[in-house]
Amino acid sequence: MSPLALAQAYETRDKLMSLHSELAEEGAIHIEIIKTTGDKILNQPLADIGGKGLFTKEIDEALLEGRIDIAVHSMKDVPTYFPDGMILPCNLPREDVRDVFISLTASSLAELPAGSVVGSASLRRQSQILYRYPSLKVVNFRGNVQTRLRKLNDGEVQATLLALAGLKRLNMTENVTAILSVEEMLPAIAQGAIGIACRSNDDKMANYLASLNHEETRLAVACERAFLETLDGSCRTPIAGYAYRNKDGDCLFRGLVASPDGTRVLETSRKGPFVLNDMISMGKDAGKELISRAGPGFFDW
Task: Show which residues are catalytic.
Answer: 77
Distance CA 152, CA 174 (A): 15
Cα 248 to chain centroid distance, Å, stands at 26
Neighbours of 26 (CB within 10 A): 5
76, 191 Cβ separation under 8 angstroms: yes
Tell me which H or E stretch contains 145. helix 145-153
Calculate the alpha carbon distances from 256 to 145, 238, 250 in Å: 25, 8, 20
Beta strand pairing status for 159-163 and 117-119?
Answer: parallel
Contacting residues for 200 by C-beta, under 8 A, at least 6 apart: 85, 86, 87
The full length of the chain comes to 301
